Amino acid sequence: MAPVARFRSVVVDCPDPHALAAFYAQVGGGTPEAEDDDWVVLRIPDGPRLAFQRAPGFTPPQWPRADRNSQQFHIDFDAGTTWEEIDAAHEKVLALGARPLDLEDREKKDFQVYADPAGHPFCLCRIDPI
């Protein structure tokens, strides 16, 4: 069956689209392109197009919550094949302003969960070597 439409982007509400686009550019690559003060687009190389939209009164999601203000979505990043690579990525995202949400049982889960500077959850994932 043919698709109805072609995927364009994931749009993320946030209080400061310029700052959050710059954070994700440092994590996943690309260069933020501001269309105006309220809308910034980031094209991650070999990845999705992320857009960041100013949302007055933004309330960050809470992780993990299923009853209200849940995570709504999260972004996964392949951060390496070894835990040494994941540990290096961990230090870098913390230096960029991320905060840890769940670092337990990483050997069983193969991922660690963080919040970006606006509070959206994202994961650093260990990928199996090819």
User: CATH no. for residue 26?
Assistant: 3.30.720.120
Beta bridge partners of 126: 80
Work out the angle at residue 73's Cα, subtended by the Cα atoms of residues 71 and 78, and round it to the nearest 5 degrees: 115
- Domain interval for residue 35: 1-56
> Which residues of the chain register pLDDT less than 70?
4-5, 65-72, 129-130
Q: Are residues 78 and 122 in the same domain?
A: yes
- pTM value? 0.82
- Give the pLDDT confidence score for residue 14 in this predicted structure: 93
Q: Are residues 72 and 120 in the same domain?
A: yes
- Give the pLDDT confidence score for residue 65 in this predicted structure: 64
Q: Are residues 35 and 82 in the same domain?
A: no
Q: What share of the chain is helix, strand, coil (3-state, %, to 5)?
A: 20, 30, 45
- Give the pLDDT confidence score for residue 71 in this predicted structure: 55
